């Protein structure tokens, strides 16, 4: 299990639940100010018995706020205490389930946040603005709007695509696992195109036919509609709702209410959906479990994948983690103890593609052999351009991956070397040719492109480097008549733009698709036979130890977009333009060997003492000056140095973050390391109250990030 022994102990022991009687105090979780020290539920007076999990409105300072009645033990008589009374309770709603409260309680403790802060953060924001009467009216309208679903019929096996032998074996293993006690966690390790989604659908069918609910997590919003359509097609008589940040507040509240009331059979969403209250939960699926999007990057920095594993244990529900490129932590958990792993998960393998099609051939294009003048003229080598032209002539599609949007990462002056830096961030402003702007992708600061160099007045300022916008332009010029399209954050800002762009690709109206990582994973492009990675080398030598792992996953996922139709599989190719063709990462990519790459990376991690063989946390501080941020971190380290030494915890010196300044705020961090998770958690829990008492006159904010993804 990702949390080690502590997660299992919490799930097994739980908390004693005692419903308060009239005249006794209630423990209520409210969203108290961060670092106020009010990180536990507060006491209020109730005139009637309210079960734990009941939503209430309570006075907090001069305001009335939303709260959740929390589990309590033996209470002192309310008459002996000067308590404020609750304002009202939301009697139209059932209490939030005990397993939901246990999940929140554990996540708050593990990620060092307040219980009320996390509990209220994962509830729909629209609830905060409603009183009990308004919510009751909203529920009445919702019940009228929801038509009773038709009686669900068992899936007609004759209408379903026959399963492969590997899919059948995986389903047999999953059903045996579901019958075990506890059901446990399975890693569904399948190459791209191997039919993992069909396995999800069959398992969901089994759970729904048994009267239970299913929760399916996806890493990104743009993958949700596609998967939702697959589930809706398979289960036309089931109620499916989505939960993600792309919904309006009213939509999110309506979907959340359907989940809590048991009206939704299946909930599909991004990381926030791991907290969806489901009274009949019977299955949890985490698709593309390796994706970094499952880690929250602000507020309570939780990992939805790890919490999904814990939730499965709490609710006795099987958990499926699916990926073609499992994260190293998941891989380690799925390795048997005899092979040096943790032996916590069961690994199920889908080694071949559905239909018998082969994986695309990988071609490494050594950019050292491409003449300089050709490199300057185009982002693509002549051989790759010729391969794309051949695909167009055959009526096939190509996909080009360049994980950098805009026209050029920077503008520069040929005379004085001025560059388009952001005055508010430690970053360059990106040149966007479409609207002739220089735009910072970190703080949003935007200006029109200057007519001349701001420093020396030279009119000859040039773009340096290439983004997707420039690559699209060069392809249109080099391939006259070709239908070139681009999908990135700039072209998909408006509602419906992404769906419309993908529909054009699926309909065959695009010959060459240029995009960032949003087009590299999860999409079933049937006509794509060539995928090319244009500039992947930067991650090979990053200071972030996880960067190569992420690059390998991205390239292997991108390669999987080619040859998904078995009729075209033999001709499918993955081209990689690289200056380092001998790198071990590309050798593993050439063989499509994620297993060998994972083993080599785990060996390096073990030797270096990095996760999953060590456990990390980061203490981050933001201030107006770098000196103030680091001085606060140094003072924090001094407060905890004695306890850290006793616990076997290492506190490293404070350093600036890789992106040192964002929006005129200087950022620094302090790395915390320990060989085992329990002593690290005990140290953090004891250190946090000391940090809350540490004066912060020059520090704007600080936070602890447990299990950080990037250091």
**Residue ranges of the binding site for Zn(2+):** 413, 416, 422, 425, 440, 443, 453, 456
| Token pair in block for residue 610 | 């990095």
**Three-class secondary structure of residue 262 per DSSP:** coil
C-alpha pair distances (Å), 706 with each of 108, 110, 111, 234 = 11, 8, 6, 39
Binding residues: 413, 416, 422, 425, 440, 443, 453, 456
| Token pair in block for residue 24 | 């006794």
* 359-375 b/e (C-beta count within 10 Å ≥ 16 → b): bbbbbbbebeebeeeee
What are the φ/ψ torsions at residue 407 (nearest 5 degrees)?
Answer: -85, -45
Distance of alpha carbon 230 from alpha carbon 31, whole angstroms: 38
| Token pair in block for residue 305 | 């994948």
Question: Count of residues for the chain?
Answer: 711
Distance of alpha carbon 250 from alpha carbon 245, whole angstroms: 12
CA angle 179, 185, 186 (to 5 degrees): 95
Long-range CB pairs of 645-652, under 8 A, 24+ apart, other chains included: 647/674, 647/679, 647/680, 647/682, 647/683, 648/674, 648/675, 648/676, 648/679, 649/673, 649/674, 649/679, 649/680, 649/683, 650/674
C-alpha pair distances (Å), 119 with each of 55, 92, 94 = 11, 19, 16
Task: Say if CB 380 and CB 405 are below 8 A apart.
Answer: no
Task: Say if CB 211 and CB 200 are below 8 A apart.
Answer: no
| Token pair in block for residue 138 | 């909203």
Beta bridge partners, 56, equal: 67, 89
| Token pair in block for residue 706 | 């447990």
Cα dihedral angle (699, 647, 303, 257), rounded to 10 degrees? -90
Distance of alpha carbon 416 from alpha carbon 618, whole angstroms: 40
Distance of alpha carbon 515 from alpha carbon 561, whole angstroms: 13
208 Cβ contact list (under 8 Å, min separation 6): 152, 214, 235, 238, 265, 266
The string of DSSP codes covering 587-623 is: HHHHTT-HHHHHHHHHHHHHHHT-TTSSEEEEEEEEE
């Amino acid at each position: 299990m990702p949390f080690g022994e502590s997660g299992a102990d919490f799930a097994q022991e739980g908390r004693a639940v005692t419903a308060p009687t009239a005249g006794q105090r209630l423990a209520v979780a409210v969203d108290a100010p961060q670092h106020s020290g009010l990180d536990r539920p507060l006491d209020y007076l109730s005139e009637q018995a309210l079960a734990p999990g009941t939503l209430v409105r309570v006075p907090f300072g001069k305001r009335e706020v939303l709260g959740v009645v929390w589990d309590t033990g033996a209470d002192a008589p309310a008459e002996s205490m000067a308590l404020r009374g609750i304002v009202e309770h939301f009697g139209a709603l059932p209490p939030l389930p005990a397993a939901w409260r246990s999940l929140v309680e554990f996540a708050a403790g593990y990620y060092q946040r307040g219980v009320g802060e996390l509990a209220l953060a994962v509830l729909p924001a629209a609830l905060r603005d409603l009183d009990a009467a308004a919510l009751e009216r909203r529920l009445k309208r919702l019940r009228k709007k929801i038509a009773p679903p038709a009686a669900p019929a068992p899936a007609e096996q004759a209408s379903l695509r026959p399963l492969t032998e590997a899919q059948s074996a995986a389903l047999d293993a999953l059903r045996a696992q579901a019958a075990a006690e506890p059901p446990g966690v399975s890693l569904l390790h399948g190459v791209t195109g191997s039919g993992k989604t069909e396995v999800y659908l069959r398992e969901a069918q089994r759970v729904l036919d048994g009267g239970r609910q299913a929760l399916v997590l996806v890493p990104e919003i743009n993958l949700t509609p596609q998967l939702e359509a697959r589930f809706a097609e398979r289960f036309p008589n089931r109620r499916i709702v989505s939960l993600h940040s792309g919904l309006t507040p009213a939509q999110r509240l309506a979907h959340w209410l359907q989940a809590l009331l048991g009206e939704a059979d299946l909930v599909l969403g991004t990381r926030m959906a791991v907290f969806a209250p489901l009274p009949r939960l019977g299955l949890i699926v985490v698709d593309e479990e390796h994706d970094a999007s499952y880690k929250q990057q602000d507020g309570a920095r939780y990992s939805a994948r790890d919490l999904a594993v814990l939730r499965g244990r709490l609710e006795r529900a099987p958990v499926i983690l699916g990926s073609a490129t499992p994260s190293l932590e998941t891989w380690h958990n799925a390795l048997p103890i005899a092979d040096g792993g943790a032996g916590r998960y069961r690994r199920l393998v889908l080694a071949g593609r559905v239909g018998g099609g082969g994986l695309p051939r990988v071609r490494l294009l050594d950019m050292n052999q491409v003449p300089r003048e050709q490199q300057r003229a185009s982002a693509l080598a002549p051989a790759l351009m010729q391969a794309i032209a051949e695909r167009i002539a055959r009526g096939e599609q190509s996909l080009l991956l360049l994980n950098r949007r805009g026209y050029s990462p920077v503008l520069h002056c040929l005379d004085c070397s001025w560059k388009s830096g952001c005055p508010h961030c430690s970053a360059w402003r990106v040149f966007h040719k479409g609207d002739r702007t220089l735009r910072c992708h970190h703080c949003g600061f935007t200006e029109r492109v200057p007519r001349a160099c701001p420093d020396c007045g030279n009119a000859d300022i040039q773009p340096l480097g290439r983004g997707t916008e420039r690559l699209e332009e060069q392809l249109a010029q080099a391939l006259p008549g070709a239908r070139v399209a681009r999908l990135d954050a700039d072209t998909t800002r408006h509602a419906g733009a992404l769906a419309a762009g993908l529909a054009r690709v699926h309909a065959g109206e695009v010959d060459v698709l240029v995009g960032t990582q949003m087009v590299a994973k999860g999409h079933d492009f049937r006509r794509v036979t060539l995928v090319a990675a244009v500039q992947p080398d930067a991650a090979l030598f990053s200071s972030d130890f996880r960067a190569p792992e992420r690059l390998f996953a991205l390239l292997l996922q991108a390669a999987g977009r080619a040859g998904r139709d078995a009729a075209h599989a033999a001709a499918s190719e993955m081209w990689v333009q690289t200056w380092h063709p001998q790198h071990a990462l590309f050798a593993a990519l050439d063989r499509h060997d994620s297993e060998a790459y994972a083993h080599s990376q785990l060996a390096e991690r073990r030797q270096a003492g990095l996760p999953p063989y060590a456990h990390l946390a980061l203490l981050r501080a933001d201030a107006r000056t770098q000196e103030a941020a680091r001085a606060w971190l140094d003072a924090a380290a001094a407060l905890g140095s004695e306890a850290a030494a006793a616990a076997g915890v290492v506190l490293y010196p404070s350093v600036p973050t890789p992106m040192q300044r964002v929006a005129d705020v200087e950022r620094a961090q302090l790395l915390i390391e320990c060989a085992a998770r329990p002593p690290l958690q005990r140290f953090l829990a004891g250190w946090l109250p000391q940090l809350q008492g540490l004066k912060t006159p020059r520090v704007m904010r600080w936070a602890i990030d447990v299990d950080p993804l990037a250091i």
